[in-house]
Structure 1
Amino acid sequence: MNDHYLKKIDRVTAILTQLQSKPLVRAQDLAEKFEVSIRTIYRDVKTLENAGIPIIGEAGNGYSLMDGYKLPPVMFTKEEVLSFITAEKLMQKFLHQSLGNHYQTAMEKVRSVLKYSDKDLIQNIEKQIDVFNYHPRTEDHIRNIIPIILESIAEKKQLQVEYKTVEEKISSRTIEVVGVFFEFNYWYVMAFCTLRNDFRQFRVDRILGIFKTQHPFLQEYGQINDYRQNPSGNKTKVRLLVDKKIIGHLVNSKKYYGLTEEIETENGIELTFETDWIKEGFPRWLITFADYADVLEPESLKISLKELITRISNKL
């Protein structure tokens, strides 16, 4: 069997896997994924149909498997099994607790279809892999909170939440969730807040109560990164000139505080930010390296920084 037919067998098998995992698969997407022509994808789909796989759809519209059709358990390669073990170790340390039991159940199903030799492989190597996480997990007030949030996204239904701010103030909000994301050891919800009539981020561990309503979303939303990358009108532009010798210590934090541009100059590194934490969060972060930085703009940040330093000095 020559290399051409081996590649085709691998590709056709992968297309079948795509059909199993998605409700609709477009030929154009498959062609881009496997770096072949759309005509080749059409022929591969015809090969599957000739093999007795009941595929619904046609060229131009997308393909799907007939509803209710069951396929034999998927068999995994040794490399895939090893990747599962590594991923499981990562999930044990970083997966949100409300998803932990569901992930564990899913992994048990994966293990159930493995060959005996692969099960022995897992038993022999899983204790040789570990992930060290030095950040304590946050405690949620509500069990299964992220599945509730994800259900609201899938069903496009509004959520009613009780939320505690960093100032310990509690408010009731009606939100339309765009998505969830993990950053700096916390899970966040990106949502449209009907109270503020704007997009807001909510830290999951600060949600004290949550209720899925039957009210549909009032508008359509794009992908979560569209809203994280495009600042709202409430953000303030900040420019700093930072000493080169300290810049290496700001690798992660500068992105967290809204870094949009970084330019190397003769006098240092010029950093530009878009932040909505100009009154509290940004000055408190800046004070940790203020002796190595100059505030280029805005003038109000210099005033906030001086006031913060004065308050600290009065306590010493």
Structure 2
Amino acid sequence: MNKTDRLLAIVLELQRKKMARAEDLATLFETSVRTIYRDIQALSEAGVPIIGTPGTGYSLMEGYFLPPISFTVEEAVTLLIGTDFIEQRFDYDYRVRAQAARGKIEAILPESVRNETSRVRKTMRLLNSGKKVTPSKEREYLEKIRRAILDERKISFHYAKRLADSEGNRHSVRTVAPYGLVLVQGSWMLVAHCDLRHDIRHFRLSRMTELMDLDDRFELPAHFDLREYTPPDDRHVRVRLRFNHAIADRVKESNYHYMEYTEERQDGLHMILCVRQLEEVLEWVLSWGADVIVLEPESFRHRIREEVEKILERY
């Protein structure tokens, strides 16, 4: 980053954060603290009203606002593709706002940049595999949950787990404090504190029914930040597989979310899956037919054999 770009970026950072230390700015822009001191001095001499508070950092004088900034072609394309993504993946409220944002961005672009941006966008496309990326029911729930998160209100819903618990139950009613929403491999997940489990749990919106807003309030823990949140890794069961070379590329392209390790060897593609329960990957392994062999654990080999025998009985 050259000096001119860095000076502009510093002003934008101060405008965004209100206060920043020289050390933090130096880390952000990968330069020395001494260079940041010189940059602040240059900005002050250029008329930017920067206030320095010993032991606290730098801030912009209240009321100062940077004039509108022109976008490069690459920046404009990035923003416009972002609006396309939001239209496909988010609820109705955000879809409308994405359309409005796209119109405003295109309106402020100089004609030359707008034309070049249009030309570049014609070479890019977000595909949804011929189906709605987010079904209408999930869009409705997405909007309700998003509003509940912002209002800090609890919600309740009926939930169907993929696998039954130790008592053979798959369905339950949950009351939760919604902390955030995450888009994982095309599916929306709710991260929430569950009153039933007394801990943070994850829920797929596609498995919810009868979602209701509650009057009960909650307070988001001060230490919780979804951007830094890492769920505990409770996948301790390892499954080793070997696939025939003929389907190796297809297997790798599936990008299966339980996949932990792959290696091409002379006898085929070796893979390790990490799961909570073996039943989680039973259908996926069976879907590859005779082109896959379970190497371990032995209990899973027996489970596959049992399932194949059941299939044979039907034919």
Distance 1:131 1:241, change over 3 A: closer
Residue 158 of structure 1 contacts residue 217 of structure 1 at CA under 8 Å; is this kept in 2? no
Q: Which amino acid aligns with 1:305?
A: I
Seq. identity, % = 26
The counterpart of 1:139, out of the listed 114, 118, 135, is 135
Distance 1:262 1:121 in 2: 42
Task: Identify the residue that residue 3 of structure 1 maps to in structure 2.
Answer: none
Q: Which amino acid aligns with 1:282?
A: V
3-state SS in 2 of match to 1:227: coil
How does the TM-score come out when normalised to structure 1?
A: 0.76
Residue 191 of structure 2 contacts residue 203 of structure 2 at CA under 8 Å; is this kept in 1? yes
Q: Which amino acid aligns with 1:78?
A: V
Distance 1:143 1:241 in 2: 37
Cα deviation 1:197-247 (Å, max 9, x = unaligned): 34433222333315374212467335557534x413xx3412213135133
Instruction: Give the gaps of 5 or more residues in structure 1.
Output: 1-5
Distance 1:177 1:72, change over 3 A: same
Distance 1:30 1:58 in 2: 15
1:173 aligns with 2:168: no
Task: Identify the residue that residue 76 of structure 1 maps to in structure 2.
Answer: 71
Equivalence map 1:102-121=2 (5 Å): 102-121=97-116
Displacement of 1:285 in angstroms is: 0.4
Distance 2:107 2:248 in 1: 49
Residue 76 of structure 2 contacts residue 105 of structure 2 at CA under 8 Å; is this kept in 1? no
Displacement of 1:146 in angstroms is: 4.0
3-state SS in 2 of match to 1:205: helix
Q: Which amino acid aligns with 2:278?
A: I
The counterpart of 2:217, out of the listed 214, 218, 225, is 214
Cα deviation 1:85-142 (Å, max 9, x = unaligned): 44444544x4323432222233333334323443454566655643333152232436
1:200 aligns with 2:212: no
Displacement of 1:268 in angstroms is: 4.2
Distance 2:122 2:193 in 1: 44
Distance 2:146 2:47 in 1: 36
Count of residues in correspondence between the two structures: 303
Distance 1:77 1:134 in 2: 31
Distance 1:81 1:169, change over 3 A: same
Equivalence map 1:267-306=2 (5 Å): 267-279=267-279, 281-306=280-305
Q: Which amino acid aligns with 2:184?
A: F
The counterpart of 2:35, out of the listed 40, 47, 51, is 40
Provide the alpha-carbon RMSD of the alignment.
3.6
